[in-house]
Amino acid sequence: MTILLIFAYIFLILIGALLLYMTFKTDDRRYIYLAVGFYVIFPVIVTLKLPIMLSPEVKQLYDAVEALPDSSTVMLTFDYYPSTLAETEPMSHAALHHLFRKNCKVVTMTTIPLGGPSIAERVTRELAEEYNKVYGIDFVNLGYKANYVAVLKGMGTSIETIYPTDNSGTPLSEIPMMKDIENYGDIDFIFVVADNSIVDYWISIVNAQYNNPVGTGLTAVMAPRYFAYIGSGQMTGMLGGMKGAAEYETLLQKPAAANMGMTSQSLVHLFIIFSVIAGNIIFFMGKKGKSRKSA
């Protein structure tokens, strides 16, 4: 088995080196594209299971949700576009698994006009079926309203004024679960899954003014920025990109899409590091050659 693994690694390295050499020789970037494609596809076909180490930010979020009393009310947001589904949907899935498992009442909403309500509807219905949860009693999808700053601020006083109906048009007054939920005061935790700077306003408006704990699942592009809010205690944990989602899946003992993607992720990262090193060696060798010629 070990010999097989060594051969596999040598094979992978050779492919990468060959394609980089071809890129350098022909100046055709499509060879790099081919390499990236190969490193993503290879682990999807040949599955390798890798151990996932846990980050403190993910553990903090998991612990915060775990510490909620059963039947707490949690707001889960679907603040992401379809473009980042591969990163964010595993987070929404993991969050819903955790919340439904704890019998929390889940209020979902979105501030994204392109696809937000459809994604929220599809994901919650899928997971609700698995846990036998009933719409209107265990979960509600509020849907979308325009101008997110006003939406976030307005729900602090009255959710019903901003959302007179749920996503499908049923008045909130006719939904049993919403009878006890008037504003943020009735919500125990806010789990924001987002791919844009709306998170800033969940913190600066909702957490700062209404004291709701806010935990987040963010795309990797955004994650570095939000370490500042973790450090200041304004954010209760964070899932950073697909790795964060994979860690949360590991904690839930429900490995799914994010875990599955980590081998491809590893190989492409290693390939890119290898390309950067190779690119720099070529650059410095070229520079040396030029200075020798001019001397």
Stretch 59-118 residues interacting with another protein (CB under 8 A): 81-87, 113-115, 117-118
Q: Which residues contact 199 (CB under 8 A, 6 or more apart)?
A: 79, 192, 216, 218, 222, 226
Applying CB under 8 A, the site for another protein has a residue count of 103
Contacts with another protein, 217-256, as mask; x by CB under 8 A: --xxx-xxxxxx-xxxxx-----xxxx-------------
Sheet holding 238-240: strands in order across?
139-144, 105-110, 73-79, 189-194, 214-218, 238-240
Q: Which is nearer to another protein, 138 or 195 (CB)?
A: 195
Q: Which is nearer to another protein, 49 or 71 (CB)?
A: 49
Does residue 211 belong to the site contacting another protein (CB under 8 A)? no
Element (H, E) at 216: strand 214-218
Q: Which is nearer to another protein, 18 or 41 (CB)?
A: 41
> What is d(CA 239, CA 288) in angstroms, rounded to the nearest whole number?
44
- Given 143, 213, 215, 237, the residue binding another protein (CB under 8 A): 143
Stretch that binds another protein, among 68-76, 92-100, 132-140, 162-170 (CB under 8 A): 162-170
Does residue 161 belong to the site contacting another protein (CB under 8 A)? yes
Neighbour tally for 103: CB within 10 Å? 13
- Given 280, 285, 288, 290, the residue binding another protein (CB under 8 A): 280
Whether the Cβ atoms of residue 121 and residue 87 lie closer than 8 Å to each other: no
Residue with tokens 């006719």: 174
